[in-house]
């Protein structure tokens, strides 16, 4: 079939955007396997032929790491899949992950010229296709370990990266490519940050994350796990040990609670703890893994972002009969990706919109119900979204046995409190130059969620990339201004 594909047959106007094959909702709520199944070669070719190869491709400007999207799609059209992947990797070391979790609808695809009259080219799905294709070929032994040729000797100075999420991995990869000896220090026993402990297997398989981390290691990057910087070693120790510059990318791993009565009851989790138990500690694989988790038959998740949706869908897969998503605004204001909202609805999660918890009520020390109040939307607030206001006397109860708080995360002060002169914002984020990641301390750079607050994978990667350039310049010139 693919042999027949040629330009004539695939005149762009005639090809609808290729749908992504998915597991059936009824089936997938009973397993943790990936929901989306990925394009076939034919799907990818058909989708690539929708790209009209604009003279001034706006899609590239919409990508925070400026992948040469037009060129990689052209290579796919020519069936040069390996070259397409190399083209992506010139700018992005984590294509299989970004292809899965990046909000393309707000970035490259939003800018795609086709979106004016039609649906944009499915850039993220094509990115995922070429990355997955290589992984599959390596696994099947069709291809040698794909990146063996890129390994090179790192002979320039030593640099340290703290935290192995997307910001740290990208910064490390960029510096290794430049020839630096990079060590990433990671507090947890596995590298990857939110990609391993937060985003569930059914959205981002951990095997995919591991393979992309292996690629980064193959560039010469060393990752030391179980290393809590600020406790085991300080930043001063790193400089004393010969590191010429340090990049801090410790993320936003400190969960927020609402401060309402009942949050200390058994059965109340932060989304961070709940997801870490399930993803990183593999509670979902019980009894093979014996990490305890209160599964709950009736679960309430509070929040409307990706973290809330991931928690709700995890609870469903862990066996909950009823899962409620309680969000204080309407669906339109939900910060989660549209695709995730759609998947969550398909999986039978009940949305309780325009509602906010006021109390969690217990019985014998355990959660018994959650009391909410109805909300209405007022004028837009600082975020540009309409402010939710309580409707007096509209309280109602929902019977639940587990409550998961997914209302946001802030910076963990573990590291920042160990560096007394490091300038922070009033929320505890590190103050860093948005262009180059420089902090107020010479040789110390920062980027990702620890600077911006909870954001996205690709923005964290962009920050890592920019900081790497600035670190190189600083080490080469010794100039800090
Ligand atoms: C459940 C969930 C779902 C999400 N879904 C999406 C999505 O679909 N799409 C998207 O684009 N974004 C999503 N995000 C947001 C995205 O994952 C983050 O913006 C991104 O991971 C931030 O990257 P980072 O490198 O700054 O930090 P992180 O990924 O948080 O990594 C920080 C790392 O630093 C380590 N660390 C912390 N303190 C120390 C220390 N003192 N010493 C050593 N190591 C330390 C941590 O253990 C962690 O591994 C999601 C977030 C969550 C929580
Ligand atoms: S803007 Fe859209 S159509 Fe144009 S080059 Fe980029 S992906 Fe192709």
* Consecutive H or E run containing 223: strand 222-224
User: How far is it, in rounded angstroms, from Cα 353 to Cα 343?
Assistant: 17
Is 174 close to ligand 1, i.e. is its CB under 6 Å away?
no
Is 187 close to ligand 1, i.e. is its CB under 6 Å away?
yes
- What is the pLDDT at residue 286? 83
Cα 37 to middle of ligand 1, angstroms: 24
Cα 252 to middle of ligand 1, angstroms: 6
- Pair of tokens at residue 336: 């989660």
Give Rg (Cα) of the chain: 23
The residues with which 248 forms a beta bridge, in sequence order, are: 162, 446
Ligand 2 pocket, mutate which of 51, 116, 123 (most atoms under 8 A from CB): 51
Q: Which ligand is nearest to the CA of 195?
A: 1
Ligand 2 pocket list (CB less than 6 A): 51-54, 57-59, 69-70, 73, 112-114, 121, 123
Which residue's CA is minimally distant from atom 27 of ligand 1?
A: 251
Which residue's CA is minimally distant from atom 8 of ligand 2?
A: 51
Cα 253 to middle of ligand 1, angstroms: 7
Cα 449 to middle of ligand 1, angstroms: 7
- What is the pLDDT at residue 456? 93
Which residue's CA is minimally distant from atom 53 of ligand 1?
A: 198
Is 448 close to ligand 1, i.e. is its CB under 6 Å away?
yes
Residue 278 half-sphere exposure toward CB, CA atoms < 13 A? 27
- What is the pLDDT at residue 1? 41
- What is the pLDDT at residue 93? 87
Is 194 close to ligand 1, i.e. is its CB under 6 Å away?
yes
Beta-carbon contacts of 87 under 8 Å, excluding residues fewer than 6 positions away, are 67, 68, 71, 72, 75
End-to-end CA distance of the chain: 59
- What is the pLDDT at residue 161? 98
Per-residue pLDDT of the chain (481 residues; tens, 9 = 90+): 444 455 554 554 567 999 999 999 999 999 999 999 999 999 999 999 999 999 999 999 999 999 999 999 999 999 999 999 999 998 998 999 999 999 999 999 999 999 998 899 999 999 999 999 999 998 888 876 655 545 566 678 999 999 999 999 999 999 999 999 999 999 999 999 999 999 999 999 999 999 999 989 988 999 999 999 999 999 999 999 999 999 999 999 999 999 999 999 999 999 999 999 999 988 888 888 888 898 889 999 999 999 999 999 999 999 999 999 999 999 999 999 989 999 999 999 999 999 999 999 999 999 999 999 999 999 988 878 889 999 999 999 999 999 999 999 999 999 999 998 999 999 999 999 999 999 999 999 999 999 999 999 999 999 999 999 999 999 999 998 8
Which residue's CA is minimally distant from atom 38 of ligand 1?
A: 250
CB 440 within 8 A of CB 423: yes
User: How far is it, in rounded angstroms, from Cα 128 to Cα 208?
Assistant: 11
Is 355 close to ligand 1, i.e. is its CB under 6 Å away?
no
Sign for the pseudo-dihedral over CA of 234, 236, 242, 243: positive
Which residue's CA is minimally distant from atom 3 of ligand 2?
A: 51
Beta-carbon contacts of 61 under 8 Å, excluding residues fewer than 6 positions away, are 111
DSSP code for 264: T
């Amino acid at each position: 079939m693919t042999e027949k594909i040629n330009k004539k047959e695939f005149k762009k106007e005639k090809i609808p955007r290729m749908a992504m094959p998915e597991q059936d909702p009824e089936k997938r709520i009973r397993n943790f396997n990936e929901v989306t199944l990925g394009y076939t070669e034919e799907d990818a070719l058909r989708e690539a032929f929708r790209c009209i190869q604009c003279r001034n491709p706006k899609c590239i400007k919409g990508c925070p790491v400026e992948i040469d999207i037009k060129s990689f799609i052209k290579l796919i059209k020519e069936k040069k899949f390996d070259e397409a992947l190399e083209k992506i990797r010139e700018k992005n070391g984590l294509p299989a992950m970004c292809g899965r979790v990046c909000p393309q609808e707000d970035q490259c695809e939003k800018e795609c010229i086709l979106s004016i009259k039609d649906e944009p080219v499915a850039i993220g799905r094509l990115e995922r296709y070429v990355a997955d294709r290589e992984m599959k070929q390596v696994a099947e032994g069709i291809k040698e370990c794909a990146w063996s040729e890129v390994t090179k000797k790192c002979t320039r100075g030593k640099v340290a990266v703290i935290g192995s999420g997307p910001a740290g991995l990208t910064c490390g990869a960029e510096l290794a490519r430049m020839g630096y000896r990079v060590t990433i220090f990671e507090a947890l026993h596995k590298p990857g940050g939110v990609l391993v402990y937060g985003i569930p297997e059914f959205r981002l398989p951990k095997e995919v994350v591991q393979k992309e981390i292996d690629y980064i290691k193959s560039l010469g990057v060393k990752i030391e796990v179980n290393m809590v910087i600020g406790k085991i070693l300080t930043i001063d120790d790193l400089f004393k040990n010969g590191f010429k510059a340090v990049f801090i990318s410790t993320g936003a791993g400190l969960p927020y609670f609402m401060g309402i009565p009942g949050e200390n009851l058994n059965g109340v989790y932060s989304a961070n703890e709940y997801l870490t138990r399930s993803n990183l500690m593999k509670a979902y694989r019980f009894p093979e893994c014996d990490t305890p988790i209160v599964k709950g038959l009736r679960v309430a998740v509070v929040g409307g972002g990706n973290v809330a949706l991931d928690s709700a869908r995890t609870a469903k897969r862990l066996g909950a009969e009823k899962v409620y998503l309680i969000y204080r605004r309407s669906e339109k204001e939900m910060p989660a990706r549209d695709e995730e909202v759609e998947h969550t609805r398909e999986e039978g999660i009940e949305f309780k919109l325009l509602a906010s918890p006021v109390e969690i009520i217990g019985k014998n020390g355990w959660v018994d119900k959650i009391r909410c109040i109805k909300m209405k939307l007022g004028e837009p607030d600082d975020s540009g979204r309409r402010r939710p206001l309580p409707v007096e006397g509209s309280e109602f109860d929902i019977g639940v046995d587990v409550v998961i708080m997914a209302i946001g995360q802030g910076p963990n002060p573990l590291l920042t409190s160990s560096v007394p002169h490091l300038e922070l914002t009033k929320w505890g984020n590190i103050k860093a130059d948005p262009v180059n990641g420089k902090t107020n301390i010479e040789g110390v750079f920062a980027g990702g969620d620890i600077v911006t607050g909870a954001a996205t994978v690709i923005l964290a990667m962009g920050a890592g990339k920019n900081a790497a350039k600035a670190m190189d310049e600083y080490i080469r010139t010794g100039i800090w201004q």
